Amino acid sequence: MAYQALYRLYRPQQFQDMVGQEHITKTLQNALLQQKLSHAYLFSGPRGTGKTSAAKIIAKAVNCEKAPVAEPCNECDACIGITKGSVSDVIEIDAASNNGVDEIRDIRDKVKYAPSEVQYKVYIIDEVHMLTIGAFNALLKTLEEPPAHVIFILATTEPHKIPLTIISRCQRFDFRRITSHAIVSRMKTVIDSQGVQVDDEALHLVARAAEGGMRDALSILDQAVSYSEDKVTSDDVLAVTGSVSQSLLSEMTDAFQKNNVIDALKHVDHLMEKGKDPIRFINDLIYYYRDMLLYQSAPDLEEVLDRAQVDQDFTAFAQKIPGDWIYQVIDVLNKAQQEMKWTNHPRIHLELAIVKLCQEENRPTGSQGIPTDIQPLVNRIEHLEKELRLLKEQGVANSHTGNQAESEAPKRTFQSRTPKSKVSTGRIREMLKEASKKDLQLFRGKWGDIMERIKARMVNAHAWMINATPVACSKDSFLLAFQHELHSQMAVKDNIRECVESVVLETMGRQMTMMTILEKDWESVKKSYIQEQQKAEPVEPGEESDYQPDEATQQKNEDPIVDEAIKLVGSEFVEIED
């Protein structure tokens, strides 16, 4: 007789053989005993969890000669025939290859005929989500009101692709992923009946690689048995599945903690030489840290761990590594895994992630998650905060013997770190000697263009300069008056000054130095400079300064109306015409 694969040989023939789906098997058994079976069922869930097997068990149970029964006897002609697939009234259809309207119409036409061999006709449609929209529409009416002798059982791994009109006409059962412990228990039954020797660690590796599917687990076990010689070991399973041992994951974790890039990259190179898949390795690493995080939260629930075994190294890492660092590692590895899916060189992304994790700061922390080397500083800060809180609550005792100034608690004032601008009247006076009204008018005429260029080049510089007013100008300097102290302070910062002076160079065609002053200070400086000019002795023709007081200033003592206008708006905005 030809060899039969383990997953076919040990396919469940009764509900009690199904592992990890007790919430479904109990419901179906009660329905069989009470003869309350529905006309249509929808079985959904991951691959290899028993959907099609459950459908065939139902087909045998309803047609068993001993019915109503909770379990098929597997001894009568009906049970044996359905198991072998020779009963024509139990029709199994693969919707992946028979997904058209014509196939469903054929079912609709034949469903009205009574069964010829057994009591019920059972239609098992596997991968039903592959049907076309037209096929679903053709199935609707038949699925809602089939003849009394027909039962429909739909199976799918992707229920979200099935129209809601189909789902609402069925009783839905969601099959769960099978836990690693349940898979190991079932595999022990299989190897005992087969007379095969398998290490316990190897069985756990197979269960983890199966990812919740019993069929996958038996297939991997079958492959590992063929690969091994006398006894299946963990190395045999690792070779078959392409996974890595937990000891290697522990060594890689240790390299991360010690920032040892050399050892980490050596491990990666060793894995690549053995032909391991980088994506599979990074997936194992993610699950290792995931299990470590769950173990920190619930150390008594080892069954929730998906990949890791609780050994000495794993326990030590879980106690030493802070949770924040684990979150960071999983985030880095997950991003690398996503990038590896879209590249032809996944090893490069793996090595980049390894180097990044080795260079990240992962200092050991105390019980409160604070790095141990800064814990003393944190303690001192907490002590000072406590003292400050007591001072606020109790107050400070005042001395009654001191004078009145000492008895009053001085108010705290906060000063800006930026020093207040100090008016360098000497520099401004020197500049005014070279300044002229003609240069000022020319500069003011181009000031709008200058501000537009400043705005295009540096928006924040434009914001600080927007209220500035040119009040004096010479060939190589210009003076800006500001309304507010803060604006004046910010304007002289290196980056803003350089921006303004470079724009002025482009606009005026010559290098000019920017000088700043507050408007209130400018009024004082201008007034004193004009008085000095008026009191000064007349100079020789040709030696007089280019900067002359304007006509409004010269006549302010001659006409009281002009004098009042100057007080209101300033002399630079007053022009007298005869």
The pLDDT, as a whole number, for residue 412 is 42
Q: Which stretches of 195-277 are DSSP H helices?
A: 200-210, 214-227, 234-241, 246-257, 261-273
End-to-end CA distance of the chain: 128
Give the distance, in angstroms, between the CA of residue 327 and the centroid of all CA atoms in the same chain: 11
Look at the domain 425-538 and name its fold. Answer: GMP Synthetase; Chain A, domain 3 (3.30.300)
Report the top-level CATH class of 180-241: mainly alpha
Helix H or strand E segment including 447: helix 447-457
Total residues found in the chain within this entry: 578
- Specify the pairing of strand 150-156 against strand 121-126: parallel
CB 183 within 8 A of CB 193: no
Q: What is the pTM of this model?
A: 0.58
246-359: CATH, from 3.40.309.10, 1.20.272.10, 1.10.150.130, 3.40.980.10: 1.20.272.10
**Residue 341, phi then psi, degrees to nearest 5:** -70, -20
276-296 burial, b for 16+ CB within 10 Å, e for fewer? bbbbebbbbbbbbbbbbebbe
- Domain coordinates in residue numbering, the chain: 6-174, 180-241, 246-359, 425-538, 548-578
CB 214 within 8 A of CB 184: no
Same-fold call for 6-174 versus 425-538: no
pLDDT tens sequence for the chain (578 residues):
477 888 888 899 999 989 889 999 999 999 999 988 899 999 999 999 999 999 999 999 999 998 889 999 999 999 999 999 889 999 999 988 888 888 888 888 889 889 888 999 999 999 999 999 999 998 888 888 888 899 999 999 999 999 999 999 999 999 999 888 889 999 999 999 888 888 888 888 888 888 889 999 999 999 999 888 888 888 888 888 877 888 888 888 888 888 888 888 988 888 888 888 888 888 888 988 888 888 888 777 766 666 677 778 888 888 888 888 889 899 999 999 888 888 888 888 888 988 988 887 654 455 455 555 566 777 778 888 888 877 777 765 544 444 444 444 444 433 444 444 444 677 888 888 888 888 888 888 888 889 888 888 888 888 888 888 898 999 889 988 888 888 888 888 878 888 898 889 988 888 888 988 888 888 888 888 888 877 765 544 444 444 444 444 444 445 556 665 665 555 656 666 65
Does domain 6-174 fall under CATH 3.40.50.300? My reply is yes
Q: Say how many C-beta atoms besides its own lie within 10 A of residue 28's C-beta.
A: 21
CB 390 within 8 A of CB 304: no
**Residue 273, phi then psi, degrees to nearest 5:** -65, -30
Q: List, as own/partner pairs, every contact residues 94-98 make where C-beta atoms lie below 8 angstroms and the sequence separation is at least 24, other chains included.
A: 94/126, 94/127, 95/125, 95/126, 95/127, 95/128, 95/129, 95/130, 95/131, 96/126, 96/127, 96/130
Question: What is the dihedral sign for C-alpha 293, 294, 298, 301?
Answer: negative
